[in-house]
């Protein structure tokens, strides 16, 4: 019912040239909720004083009341469209494309987003904060969460478990937040199977393989051998781009553009008539 209301709101309403032709099917359709039409519809009869120089009413409030009286009901002040559903945004891409960098900027610019904190069984590194970077749990605690079906998705990454707690997503969605999940490509594939089209999947890429490798080198967090593994993995991962909804190029020195594009994707998704509705 509401969708019909929204759609009809956006339909072009034909300009009525008096006198009204009730033979015109388009006019008939658009006036189907009005009073039965007579050749001289009631709302054409007005005793409101008009400003003759501009054809505008002398008194807006008075004209509103008169229109309401003619239509037989008052105008609705409720929002035409309800608030959009909370959205789940999955951001993924090969290692070193800039997922963390994009998310860091998004965090600064949008406070309507909740960035899910992953649970991990890996030990805390210096400078990391429990509950901010990860939820650090023991392997036993992690496996208990798995048993209790508390994780949306989990994986064993280089000997450590990583998983997405469902409770956190539910709590923030209930408060109206949009949810951002940052996962590797395998994680995105698993989430696609679980969430289908109910979430939006964004594939982040560098402008070229060279740019991506240079970025990884400059980051100085991997050894030469680790770099070789990451590059080989990235080559495989690039083939999965077609399973995503959007691809965003994070070009060298153009981080802001990539962030803006992700923001536009979120805005466009929120304005969709047919919303994605994720149930966790």
Ligand X SMILES: Nc1ncnc2c1ncn2[C@@H]1O[C@H](COP(=O)(O)OP(=O)(O)OP(=O)(O)O)[C@@H](O)[C@H]1O
Q: Which is nearer to ligand X, 62 or 100 (CB)?
A: 100
Considering the complex, what minimum distance in angstroms separates the CB of residue 68 from ligand X? 55
Q: Is 86 in the site for ligand X (CB under 6 A)?
A: no
Binding of residue 118 to ligand X (CB under 6 A): no
Closest approach of ligand X to the CB of residue 221, in Å: 8
CB of 112 to ligand X, least distance (A): 22
Nearer to ligand X, 37 or 213 (CB): 213
Length of the chain: 280
Which strands sit side by side in the sheet containing 178-182, from one edge to the other?
Answer: 113-115, 178-182, 88-92, 200-205, 246-249
96 binds ligand X (CB under 6 A): yes
65 is catalytic: no
Tokens 């593994």 correspond to: 229
Q: What DSSP state is assigned to residue 44?
A: G
Residue 133 or 150: the one with the smaller Cβ distance to ligand X is 133
- Whether the CB-CB separation of 80 and 4 falls below 8 Å is answered with no
Name which position in 31, 88, 91, 97 contacts ligand X (CB under 6 A): 97
CB of 6 to ligand X, least distance (A): 38
Instruction: Please report whether residue 150 would count as binding ligand X according to CB under 6 A.
Output: no
> Does 167 sit near ligand X (CB under 6 A)?
no
Q: For the chain, how big is the Rg over CA atoms in Å?
A: 28
User: Based on CB atoms, which residue is closest to ligand X, 119 or 173?
Assistant: 119
Selected range binding ligand X among 169-177, 214-222, 240-248, 267-275, rule: CB under 6 A = 214-222
Region of 70 on the Ramachandran plot (φ > 0 left; ψ -120 to 50 alpha; else beta): alpha
105 binds ligand X (CB under 6 A): no
Query: Strand runs (DSSP E) across the chain, as ranges?
Result: 50-51, 56-57, 88-92, 113-115, 119-120, 135-136, 151-157, 160-165, 178-182, 200-205, 246-249
Please pick, among 3, 65, 107, 219, the residue that the annotation labels catalytic: 219
Q: In a 3-state reduction of DSSP, which class is residue 162?
A: strand
Supply the minimum distance, in Å, between the C-beta of residue 267 and ligand X.
21
The separation between the first and the last C-alpha atoms of the chain, rounded to the nearest angstrom, is 26
Q: Tokens 């100085």 identify what position?
A: 220
DSSP-derived secondary structure letter, 163: E
Q: Given the structure tokens 């019912």, which residue do they identify?
A: 1
Question: Residue 4 catalytic?
Answer: no
Options 4, 125, 148, 274, the catalytic residue: 125
Residue 240 φ then ψ, to 5°: -90, 5
Question: Binding residues for ligand X, per CB under 6 A?
Answer: 93, 95-101, 215, 218-219, 250-255
């Amino acid at each position: 019912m509401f969708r019909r209301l929204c759609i009809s709101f956006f339909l072009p309403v034909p300009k009525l040239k008096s006198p009204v032709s009730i033979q015109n099917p388009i006019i008939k359709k658009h006036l189907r909720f009005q009073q039965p039409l007579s050749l001289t519809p009631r709302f054409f009869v007005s005793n409101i004083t008009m400003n003759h120089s501009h054809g505008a009413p002398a008194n807006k409030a008075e004209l509103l009341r008169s229109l309401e009286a003619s239509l037989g009901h008052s105008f609705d002040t409720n929002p035409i469209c309800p608030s959009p559903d909370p959205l789940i945004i999955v951001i993924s891409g090969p290692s070193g494309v800039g997922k963390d960098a994009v998310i860091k900027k998004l965090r600064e610019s949008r406070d309507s987003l909740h960035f899910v904190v992953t649970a991990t069984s890996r030990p805390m590194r210096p400078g990391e904060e429990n509950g901010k970077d990860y939820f650090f749990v023991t392997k036993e605690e992690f496996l208990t969460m798995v048993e209790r079906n508390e994780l949306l998705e989990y994986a064993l990454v280089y000997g450590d478990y990583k998983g997405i707690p469902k409770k956190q997503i539910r709590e923030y969605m209930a408060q109206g937040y949009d949810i951002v999940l940052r996962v590797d490509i395998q994680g995105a594939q698993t989430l696609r199977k679980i969430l289908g089209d109910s979430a939006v999947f964004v594939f982040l890429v560098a402008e070229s393989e060279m740019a991506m490798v240079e970025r990884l080198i400059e980051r100085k967090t991997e050894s030469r051998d680790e770099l070789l593994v990451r590059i080989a993995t990235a080559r495989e991962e690039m083939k999965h781009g077609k399973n995503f909804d959007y691809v965003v190029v994070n070009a060298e020195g153009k981080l802001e553009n990539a962030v803006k594009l992700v923001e536009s994707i979120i805005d466009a998704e929120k304005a969709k008539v047919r919303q994605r509705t994720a149930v966790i």
